[in-house]
């Protein structure tokens, strides 16, 4: 009996160690997030001021802001989302409504999931081959196209998931009233799944607004104010990349400020998206 | 009579109007269906087009260097000799080290979130970990370069070099001056980046374990460790592997964070403290500066190799996750 108690103590001890390690792992995860955010705040605040939003990116050694980069990011993100969202929503609709059980759908679902995690730099190469090389120059169009390619899989996934949550009775009831299927989808299923679908679009915006790799050789960069979609355009992530790796201190300071801005925007968006979907599911 | 005829014509007019509305509805029905079908196929076409464009773009490199492209280490823009071995090596080594670090921690966090955490804290901590996944990769890059790499250089690398100085094999692995940037630092940053993805998958699959199984095990007097080891993990093994592969797919393709801290040196070094390069970092660093068709084509060929590797890894991940989804649904 005494032996058993010793064994039991040993089991308890090993379990306690495992539990402690799990606590430590979680603490580590939270610490990483905390340290990253703290560094961003500490270094980013230093260069913060109204100038950031009112002046162009400067040449090294002089004062300036990030206005053209912020504007470029907004323009290309919005354009990419406007192009990518309808395609994503329609494809998601097919997967959830028309072709829910078809073979082709499972193939498309599978491919879409792969595109969702595929390296974004490959998207940049793809758009380079497709648009930049034939056009002969870098352009904001190409940048927006690359972002659209990243938007599509995200929106497809969330649209399908959200439509699958809509109870079938709703569809059956409206079909019984004689509504054609397209109206059932657009007037009933879309309405029921709206919050979730908006969440998906917000998550897609959050994802692409921080993307750098696909813009590097599609939209390139531009030191000046430009609204010409057919010309190279600055974007916040690419400017951060360029400035952070430069040897000039004032550029590096601007890079940190840009990093702070973009992180704040992306995290706000993803928290908003989460809040929207959770307030919806609680109803 | 006139009254009747009037009613009659009214009825036919109404019927005609109704037919017109129905026909309109039928047309929009067909049209909308066609739109959704073509959008769905667009996803397939997209994948095909990405593959095709990379093959076309990289063709010149494969035609010039043939199979040698995959097996040589030389990367010389001046003599236009390119081999992909160093970037492939760097990609695989950084991702593997990242997995070695991230997988145990992720499983630990997932166990914490599903078994140990007080109910009220589950959601906030879960969201905090998910936010880690939302931080853009360029932020990990700039943070890694200015904060993490100096810390590693000052406090970790000298210790590693000193600790393994007299141990054979390991002293090769941890050799050289502490640069700060390099393979190890990149791998650690990658580990932080894939951690939330693996955690999310593990947490989801852990939640598919039927409570009865766990309750029965606890009822027999098992400790938490024994329940996790002998019930939860065996039940969800396929899902965990799927999650790990998903993380691996992310790590292999990650660009910006690695570009900042890898050092961009085209050579294969035995030491993991040395600078190296990865496929994505090479493309990001050199593509806009590439002069000449062979150089550009070689970089696109690198992209093709990367896409191919990640495609296989991600496909395996999905297949495994689909298996556990079926199990949970049954």
pLDDT digits (tens, 9 = 90+) for A120-139: 999 999 999 999 999 988 99
Tokens of B311: 């495609």
What's the gap in Å between the CA of B9 and the closest CA on chain A? 26
> Which residues in chain A have their CB less than 8 angstroms from residue B137's CB?
210, 212-213
What's the gap in Å between the CA of B242 and the closest CA on chain A? 13
Are B318 and A217 inside 8 Å of each other by CB? no
Higher pLDDT, A277 or A174: A174
SS3 assignment, position B135: coil
Could you read off the pLDDT of B184-216 as tens digits, one per residue? 999 999 999 999 999 999 999 999 999 999 999
> Which residues in chain A have their CB less than 8 angstroms from residue B61's CB?
none
> Which residues in chain B have their CB less than 8 angstroms from residue A244's CB?
141-142, 145-146, 260
Q: What's the CA angle centered on B299, arms B293 and B304, to 5 degrees?
A: 120
> Which residues in chain A have their CB less than 8 angstroms from residue B116's CB?
19, 22-23
Give residue A3's pLDDT band: very low, low, confident or very high (50, 70, 90). low
Residue B2: the pLDDT is 60
Distance CA B152, CA B182 (A): 10
Could you read off the pLDDT of B310-320 as tens digits, one per residue? 999 999 999 88
Taking CA atoms, A220 is separated from A224, A228, B9, in Å, by 13, 13, 68
Nearest CB to A217; choose among B104, B288, B306: B288
What's the gap in Å between the CA of B301 and the closest CA on chain A? 10
Are A126 and B53 inside 8 Å of each other by CB? yes
> Which residues in chain B have their CB less than 8 angstroms from residue A182's CB?
25, 28-29, 31-33
Could you read off the pLDDT of A43-75 as tens digits, one per residue? 998 888 888 888 888 888 788 889 999 999 999
What's the gap in Å between the CA of A185 and the closest CA on chain B? 10
Give the residue on A whose Cα is nearest the Cα of B139: A259
Distance CA B172, CA B324 (A): 41
Q: Are A41 and A260 in contact (CB under 8 A)?
A: yes
Give residue A282's pLDDT band: very low, low, confident or very high (50, 70, 90). very low
Give residue A283's pLDDT band: very low, low, confident or very high (50, 70, 90). very low
Distance CA B100, CA B167 (A): 21
Nearest CB to A94; choose among B31, B36, B134: B36
> Which residues in chain B have their CB less than 8 angstroms from residue A39's CB?
143, 146-147
Number of H helices, E strands in chain A: 14, 0
**Interface contacts (A, B; CB < 8 Å):** 267
Could you read off the pLDDT of A213-266 as tens digits, one per residue? 999 989 888 888 888 888 899 999 999 999 999 999 889 999 999 999 999 999
Q: A196: exposed, middle or buried (C-beta count within 10 Å: 0-12, 13-18, 19+)?
A: buried
Are B303 and A212 inside 8 Å of each other by CB? no
What's the gap in Å between the CA of B310 and the closest CA on chain A? 7
Q: Are B142 and B257 in contact (CB under 8 A)?
A: no
Give the residue on A whose Cα is nearest the Cα of B279: A121
Name which of A118, A137, A138, A143 to mutate to probe chain B: the one with the most chain B Cβ atoms within 10 A of its Cβ. Answer: A118
> Which residues in chain B have their CB less than 8 angstroms from residue A152's CB?
42-43, 46
Q: Are A69 and A254 in contact (CB under 8 A)?
A: no
ipTM value, please give it.
0.91
The closest alpha carbon to A202, from A85, A93, A111, belongs to A85
Residues in chain B with pLDDT < 50?
none
Are B135 and A11 inside 8 Å of each other by CB? no
> Which residues in chain A have their CB less than 8 angstroms from residue B117's CB?
26
As a residue count, chain B comes to 330
Residue A221: the pLDDT is 87
Could you read off the pLDDT of A150-206 as tens digits, one per residue? 999 999 999 999 999 999 999 999 999 988 899 999 999 999 999 889 989 999 999
B157-161 long-range Cβ contacts below 8 angstroms, 24+ apart: B157/B184, B157/B273, B160/B273, B161/B273
Give the residue on B whose Cα is nearest the Cα of A114: B314
Give the residue on B whose Cα is nearest the Cα of A32: B192
DSSP string, B214-283: HHHHHHTT--HHHHIIIIIHHHTHHHHHHHHHHHHHHHHH--HHHHHHS----S--S-TTS----HHHHH
């Amino acid at each position: 009996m005494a032996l058993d108690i010793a064994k039991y103590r040993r089991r308890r001890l090993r379990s306690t160690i495992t539990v402690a390690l799990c606590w430590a792992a979680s603490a580590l995860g939270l610490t990483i997030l905390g340290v990253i955010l703290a560094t961003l705040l500490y270094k980013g605040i230093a260069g913060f001021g109204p100038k950031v939003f009112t002046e162009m990116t400067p040449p090294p050694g002089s004062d300036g802001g990030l206005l053209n980069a912020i504007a470029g990011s907004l323009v290309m993100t919005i354009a990419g989302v406007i192009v990518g969202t309808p395609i994503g929503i329609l494809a998601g609709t097919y997967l959830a409504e028309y072709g829910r059980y078809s073979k082709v759908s499972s193939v498309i679902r599978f491919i879409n999931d792969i595109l969702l995690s595929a390296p974004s730099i490959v998207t940049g190469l793809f758009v380079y081959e497709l648009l930049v090389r034939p056009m002969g120059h870098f352009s904001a169009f190409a940048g927006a196209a690359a972002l659209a390619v990243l938007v599509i899989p995200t929106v497809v996934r969330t649209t399908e998931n959200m439509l699958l949550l809509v109870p079938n009775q709703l569809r059956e009831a409206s079909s019984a009233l004689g509504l054609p299927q397209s109206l059932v989808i657009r007037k009933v299923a879309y309405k029921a799944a709206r919050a979730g679908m908006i969440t998906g679009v917000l998550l897609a915006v959050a994802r692409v607004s921080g993307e750098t790799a696909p813009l590097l050789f599609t939209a390139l960069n531009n030191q000046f104010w430009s609204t010409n979609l057919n010309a190279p355009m600055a974007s916040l992530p690419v400017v951060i990349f360029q400035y952070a790796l430069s040897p000039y201190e004032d550029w590096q300071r601007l890079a940190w400020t840009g990093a702070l801005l973009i992180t704040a925007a992306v995290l706000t968006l993803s928290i908003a998206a989460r809040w929207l979907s959770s307030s919806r599911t609680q109803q | 009579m006139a009254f009747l005829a009037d009613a009659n014509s009214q009825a036919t007019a109404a019927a005609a109007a109704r037919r017109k509305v129905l026909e309109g509805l039928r047309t929009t029905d067909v049209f909308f269906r066609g739109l959704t079908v073509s959008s769905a196929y667009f996803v397939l076409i997209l994948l095909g087009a990405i593959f095709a464009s990379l093959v076309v773009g990289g063709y010149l490199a494969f035609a010039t260097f043939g199979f040698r492209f995959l097996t040589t280490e030389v990367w010389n823009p001046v003599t236009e000799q390119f081999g992909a071995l160093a970037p492939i090596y760097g990609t695989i080594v950084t991702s593997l080290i990242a997995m070695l670090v991230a997988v145990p921690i992720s499983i630990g966090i997932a166990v914490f979130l599903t078994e140990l955490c007080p109910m009220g804290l589950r959601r906030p901590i879960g969201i905090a970990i998910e936010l880690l996944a939302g931080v853009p990769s360029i932020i990990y890059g700039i943070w890694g370069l200015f904060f993490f790499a100096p810390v590693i250089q000052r406090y970790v690398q000298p210790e590693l070099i000193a600790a393994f100085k007299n141990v054979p094999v390991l002293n090769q692995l941890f050799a050289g001056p502490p640069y700060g940037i390099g393979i190890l630092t990149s791998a650690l940053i990658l580990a932080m980046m894939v951690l939330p993805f693996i955690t999310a998958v593990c947490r989801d699959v852990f939640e598919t374990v039927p409570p009865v199984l766990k309750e029965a095990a606890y009822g027999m007097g098992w400790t938490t460790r024994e329940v996790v080891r002998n019930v939860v993990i065996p039940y969800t093994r396929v899902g965990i592997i799927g999650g790990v592969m998903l993380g691996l797919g992310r790590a292999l393709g990650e660009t910006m964070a690695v570009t900042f801290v890898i050092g961009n040196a085209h050579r294969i070094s035995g030491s993991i403290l040395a600078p190296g390069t990865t496929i994505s970092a090479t493309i990001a660093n050199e593509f806009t500066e590439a002069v000449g068709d062979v150089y550009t084509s070689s970089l696109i060929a690198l992209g093709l190799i990367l896409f191919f590797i990640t495609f296989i890894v991600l496909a395996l991940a999905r297949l495994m996750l689909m298996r556990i989804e079926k199990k949970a649904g049954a």
